[in-house]
């Protein structure tokens, strides 16, 4: 948590200092209020003695006789005869209703002052807690955006969502209450103990015993509860993950009648979470009744000890009453401390989880001195091999090829042959394990990442659409979309065919992940988004798979006419999609087993097998 506090701004630190000063002032008002409580009890007692002098302890009958003879003024004049009780007799003689009003008025003023101070502290604490949480959330979001796919896979999406939302909420709420209580509790405890000690050693010892009992129980519960709090955050990740899978995969779940299966999966995760939460909740609920028991026991002990001290004449009843209130303040301070003990374990776990993300160094970073591009529109692989983090085997191995400006490279191969892994290396979604990937003549590791990706228009295998309009999705990341370019891009990607049939046209709202458009429409919109960028290099990772043959052919024709100088890399399963490519790479188990044009590769057994599985011998121009 201390690492996160480094993010506090100067104004936040100033607010914390003000909170500390205001807290001391608040405790002063509270402690002074206790004095006036004792004062009002004393005033009531003295007025009673004034009106009923015979009830004055020890020498009441004597005082009553003198009052009847010489009055209270006469008694005051001869007060020296009462020795050590002189001040008491004078106070009783001067007692009046005004003493009650004065002490009561001061109590109201101090109570109102305490309320105002607490409100100001709450406002300052809210500002600091919200500001800190905002900065943490921003830094966390920025950090996650810097992550490569390796780090995303490491933490898992559900966990990152939990850390960005739920964990930060725990920290914000804990900090809010901490700033309101963390200064108040120790100041109150120290001040109250010193105040009690100044009056009576016996009352002080009873208070110390009560405090020690509270510390032991709280410490004992923390030892058992803290590990559970750590588990709860992981269980929250799991619960969020199951819920996320259920919402994203709702179509598959319903198609397979798997509602019961998913419900049981959720029920298991939810039950585990609930049991852990109940354990920590029950552990913490023990504290509240125990603290109330200690508070009542302390009050009783103070009254018993106070009664003995009153009989000895060491203190008076008003003093005992005031210090019973001080004892109650002490225990209430521990009650507030208990709330922090409930919140802080989870907050500390949340802080550690957030720091884990913030301190993770992205595996893909910008070079200190990025190089400039040498060529234009070229992509080259030199002895490139790649395996995923923590993977044992290479996914692709010893890949060598070069594609020049304006050429079209096609990559084909069986499922899991390494096609997607290969194209992911071009825009540095992953880094090659061995060898070099060159774009425009420079190793991608030596290029500025933004400059590299600005040259590449990438359409991933799973086309993703964002919440918003069709226009927003095509002109993605453009703050001021060019409608002419939006419409042109849609036409190139053959999107205009279905957009023109929509009432809202380009203002049509796309739902989450593009659930309200078909798979083919989604792919075409993703291709239109790529065209809008006018990249130097196009990379299509199986981006035509959901298109019919007619649309596929028309779209590729549009792309060829779009810009003959742009370089295109197409990953595809269809022979018809890649037949016209300038160069075709055949992958098998991560290795290149063939490279050349379509007709040249018909003698390649792997390519030939794929081709014959889709087209007839006559269509391929093969003869017996």
Q: In the listed set 358, 390, 406, which residue is the last one of a domain according to the structure?
A: 358
Residue in the block written with tokens 């979470």: 273
86 lies in some domain: yes
Q: Is residue 340 very low, low, confident or very high in pLDDT (cuts 50, 70, 90)?
A: confident
pLDDT for residue 400: 92
The Cα–Cα gap between 601 and 225 comes to 67
Q: Which residues of 468-480 are buried (b: 16+ CB within 10 A; e: fewer)?
A: ebbbbbbbbeeee
Residues 323, 189, single domain; the answer is: yes
618 lies in some domain: yes
146 lies in some domain: yes
Residues 328, 253, single domain; the answer is: yes
581 three-state secondary structure: coil
Residues 326, 413, single domain; the answer is: no
Q: In the listed set 292, 327, 358, which residue is the last one of a domain according to the structure?
A: 358
pLDDT in tens, 297-324: 877 887 787 777 777 666 767 677 777 7
Q: What is the mean pLDDT of residues 183-205?
A: 72
Q: Is residue 384 very low, low, confident or very high in pLDDT (cuts 50, 70, 90)?
A: very high
Above 90 in pLDDT, residue 381?
yes
pLDDT in tens, 32-42: 887 787 778 77
Above 80 in pLDDT, residue 160?
yes
As a dihedral over the C-alpha atoms of residue 319, residue 320, residue 322, residue 326, rounded to 10 degrees, the angle is 130
Instruction: Evaluate whether 401 touches 415 at the Cβ level (below 8 Å).
Output: no
Instruction: Evaluate whether 163 touches 354 at the Cβ level (below 8 Å).
Output: yes
Mean confidence (pLDDT) of the chain = 81
Q: What is the mean pLDDT of residues 239-258?
A: 72
Residues 419, 321, single domain; the answer is: no
From the list 120, 131, 111, 125, the residue with the least C-alpha distance to 181 is 125
Above 80 in pLDDT, residue 570?
yes
Pairwise pLDDT comparison (193 vs 475), residue with the higher score = 475
pLDDT for residue 83: 63
Q: Is residue 372 packed enough to be buried (19+ CB in 10 Å), middle (13-18) or exposed (0-12)?
A: exposed
532 lies in some domain: no
124 lies in some domain: yes
Distances (CA, A) of 139 to 144, 153, 354, 419, 491: 9, 20, 10, 34, 40
Residue 275 phi, psi (nearest 5):
-60, -40
Residues 91, 180, single domain; the answer is: yes
Concatenate the DSSP letters of all residues of 507-541 into one string.
Answer: GPEE-GGGTTS-HHHHHHHHHHHHHHT--SEEEEE
pLDDT in tens, 410-453: 998 888 888 888 988 998 888 888 999 999 989 999 999 888 88
The Cβ of residue 356 has, within 10 Å, a number of other Cβ atoms equal to 12
Residues 165, 90, single domain; the answer is: yes
The Cβ of residue 216 has, within 10 Å, a number of other Cβ atoms equal to 10
pLDDT in tens, 392-421: 788 898 999 999 998 889 998 888 888 888
387 lies in some domain: yes
Residue 510 phi, psi (nearest 5):
-90, 130
Q: In the listed set 330, 358, 386, which residue is the last one of a domain according to the structure?
A: 358
Helix, strand and coil content of the chain, in percent to the nearest 5, comes to: 65, 10, 25
Instruction: Evaluate whether 93 touches 76 at the Cβ level (below 8 Å).
Output: yes
pLDDT for residue 383: 92
23 three-state secondary structure: helix
Distances (CA, A) of 112 to 32, 33, 106, 109, 209: 13, 11, 10, 5, 33
Q: What is the mean pLDDT of residues 337-349?
A: 73
Q: What is the pTM of this model?
A: 0.70
pLDDT for residue 233: 65
Concatenate the DSSP letters of all residues of 189-238 into one string.
Answer: HHHHHHHHHTT-HHHHHHHHHHHHHHHHHHHHHHHHHHHHHHHHHHHHHH
Quote the number of domains for the chain.
Answer: 2
Q: Which helix (H) or strand (E) holds 48?
A: helix 10-51
Above 80 in pLDDT, residue 456?
yes
Long-range contact pairs involving 616-620 (C-beta distance under 8 Å, separation at least 24): 620/575
Q: Is residue 251 very low, low, confident or very high in pLDDT (cuts 50, 70, 90)?
A: low
**Range with top average pLDDT, 63-72, 302-311, 348-357, 531-540:** 531-540
Pairwise pLDDT comparison (330 vs 498), residue with the higher score = 498
**Which CATH number covers residue 422?**
3.40.50.300
Q: Is residue 478 very low, low, confident or very high in pLDDT (cuts 50, 70, 90)?
A: confident
Pairwise pLDDT comparison (111 vs 79), residue with the higher score = 111
Residues 105, 239, single domain; the answer is: yes
Q: Which residues contact 62 (CB under 8 A, 6 or more apart)?
A: none
Above 80 in pLDDT, residue 203?
no
Residues 292, 411, single domain; the answer is: no
DSSP assignment letter at 506: G
**Which CATH number covers residue 246?**
1.20.1560.10
Above 70 in pLDDT, residue 487?
yes
Residues 335, 445, single domain; the answer is: no
Residue in the block written with tokens 């290029």: 447
Residue 411 phi, psi (nearest 5):
-125, 125
Residues 21, 168, single domain; the answer is: yes
563 lies in some domain: no
462 lies in some domain: no
Above 60 in pLDDT, residue 287?
yes
Question: What is the phi-psi region of residue 22: left when phi exceeds 0, alpha when psi lies from -120 to 50, beta otherwise?
Answer: alpha
277 three-state secondary structure: helix
Residues 193, 332, single domain; the answer is: yes
User: Sign of the CA dihedral 353, 358, 361, 364?
Assistant: positive
Q: Which domain holds residue 28?
A: 2-358
Residues 130, 222, single domain; the answer is: yes
Above 90 in pLDDT, residue 184?
no
């Amino acid at each position: 948590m201390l690492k996160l506090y480094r993010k506090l701004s100067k104004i936040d630190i100033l607010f914390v200092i003000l909170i500390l000063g205001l807290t001391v002032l608040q405790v002063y008002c509270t402690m002074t209020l206790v004095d006036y409580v004792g004062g009002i009890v004393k005033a009531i007692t003295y007025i009673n003695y004034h009106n009923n002098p015979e009830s004055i302890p020890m020498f009441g009958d004597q005082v009553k006789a003198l009052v009847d003879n010489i009055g209270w003024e006469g008694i005051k004049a001869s007060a020296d005869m009462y020795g050590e009780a002189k001040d008491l007799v004078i106070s009783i003689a001067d007692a009046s209703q005004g003493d009650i009003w004065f002490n009561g008025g001061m109590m109201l003023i101090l109570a109102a002052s305490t309320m105002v101070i607490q409100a100001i502290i709450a406002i300052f604490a809210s500002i600091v807690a919200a500001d800190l949480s905002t900065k943490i959330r921003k830094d966390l979001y920025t950090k996650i955006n810097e992550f490569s796919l390796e780090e995303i896979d490491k933490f898992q999406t559900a966990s990152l969502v939990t850390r960005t939302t739920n964990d930060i909420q725990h920290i914000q709420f804990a900090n809010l209450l901490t700033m309101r209580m963390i200064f108040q509790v120790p100041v109150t405890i120290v001040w109250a103990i010193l105040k009690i000690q100044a009056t009576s050693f016996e009352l002080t010892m009873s208070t110390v015993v009560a405090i020690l009992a509270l510390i032991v129980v709280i410490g004992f519960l923390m030892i058992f509860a803290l590990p559970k709090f750590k588990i709860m955050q992981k269980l929250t990740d799991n619960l969020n993950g199951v819920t996320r899978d259920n919402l994203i995969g709702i179509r598959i779940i319903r198609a397979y009648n798997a509602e019961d299966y998913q419900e049981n999966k959720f029920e298991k995760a939810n039950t585990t979470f609930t049991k852990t939460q109940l354990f920590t909740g029950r552990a913490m609920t023990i504290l509240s009744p125990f603290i109330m028991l200690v508070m009542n026991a302390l009050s009783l002990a103070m009254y018993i000890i106070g009664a003995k001290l009153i009989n000895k004449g060491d203190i008076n009843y008003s003093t005992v009453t005031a210090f019973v209130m001080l004892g109650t303040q002490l225990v209430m301070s521990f009650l507030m401390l208990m709330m922090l003990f409930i919140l802080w374990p989870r907050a500390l776990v949340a802080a550690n989880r957030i720091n884990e993300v913030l301190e993770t160094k992205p595996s893909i970073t910008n070079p200190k001195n990025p190089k400039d591009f040498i060529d234009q529109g070229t992509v080259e692989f030199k002895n490139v091999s790649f395996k995923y983090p923590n993977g044992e085997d290479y996914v692709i191995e010893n890949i060598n090829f070069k594609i020049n400006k304006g050429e079209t490279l096609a990559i084909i191969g069986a499922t899991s042959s390494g096609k997607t892994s290969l194209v992911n290396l071009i825009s540095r979604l992953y880094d090659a394990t061995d060898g070099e990937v060159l774009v425009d003549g420079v190793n991608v590791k030596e290029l500025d990442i933004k400059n590299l990706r600005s040259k590449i228009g990438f359409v991933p295998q799973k086309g993703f659409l964002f919440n918003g309009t069709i226009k927003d999705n095509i002109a993605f990341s453009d703050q001021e979309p060019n409608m002419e370019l939006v419409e042109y891009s849609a036409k190139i990607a053959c999107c205009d065919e279905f957009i023109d049939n929509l009432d809202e046209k380009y203002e049509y709202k796309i739902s989450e992940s593009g659930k309200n458009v078909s798979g083919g429409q989604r792919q075409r919109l993703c291709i239109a988004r790529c065209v809008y960028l006018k990249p130097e290099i196009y990379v299509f990772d199986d981006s035509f798979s959901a298109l019919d043959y007619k649309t596929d052919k028309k779209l590729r024709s549009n792309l060829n006419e779009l810009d003959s100088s742009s370089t295109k890399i197409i990953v595809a399963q269809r022979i018809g999609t890649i037949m016209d490519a300038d160069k075709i790479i055949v992958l098998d188990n991560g290795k290149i087993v063939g490279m050349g044009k379509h007709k040249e590769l018909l003698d390649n057994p792997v390519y030939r097998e794929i081709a014959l599985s889709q087209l007839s011998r006559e269509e391929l121009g093969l003869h017996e």
